[in-house]
């Protein structure tokens, strides 16, 4: 078959797909869409509240551990803080170097 025949066949098949009587496209009504949107908002809000509560719970646990260590054994607390502080400084320096390298390019 030549190119024109292929083009005609493809156009004929595509026109069959465009026929709405053969393949009807259901249109949802506005009320059902609004209900779905409100349901999704409620679900996302519940998830957000759960995630925030979990975050605050872990933050309180971590802070309470650090406070108890700082009051019970201050030397251990200092030993724990030194690597954390050094890794923060090293990370900051590395990100600054990467920013400079990106700006040069």
Question: What is the model's pLDDT at position 55?
Answer: 95
DSSP string, 19-50: -TTTS------HHHHHHHHHHHHHHHHHHHHH
Residues 81 and 96 in one domain: yes
Kindly state whether residues 38 and 64 are assigned to the same domain: yes
Same domain, 85 and 65: no
The answer to whether residue 59 sits within a structural domain is yes
Please check whether residue 97 lies inside any domain of the structure. yes
Say if residue 64 is in the same domain as residue 98. Answer: no
Across the chain, which has 105 residues, the per-10-residue mean pLDDT values are 86 81 80 95 96 94 83 79 87 84 64
Parent domain of 40: 30-72
CB contact set of 17 (below 8 Å; sequence gap of 6+): 23
The pLDDT value recorded for residue 74 is 79
Residues 46 and 68 in one domain: yes
Domain annotation covers residue 14 = no
Answer yes or no: are the C-beta atoms of 77 and 66 closer than 8 Å. Answer: yes
């Amino acid at each position: 078959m030549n190119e024109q025949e292929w083009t005609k066949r493809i156009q004929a098949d595509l026109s069959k797909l465009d026929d709405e009587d053969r393949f009807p496209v259901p249109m949802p009504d506005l009320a059902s869409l609004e209900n779905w949107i409100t349901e999704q908002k409620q679900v996302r809000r519940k998830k957000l509240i759960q995630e925030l509560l979990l975050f605050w719970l872990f933050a309180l646990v971590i802070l309470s551990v650090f406070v108890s260590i700082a009051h019970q054994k201050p030397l251990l607390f200092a030993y724990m803080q030194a690597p954390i502080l050094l890794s923060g400084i090293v990370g900051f320096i590395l990100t600054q170097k990467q920013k400079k390298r990106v700006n040069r390019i």
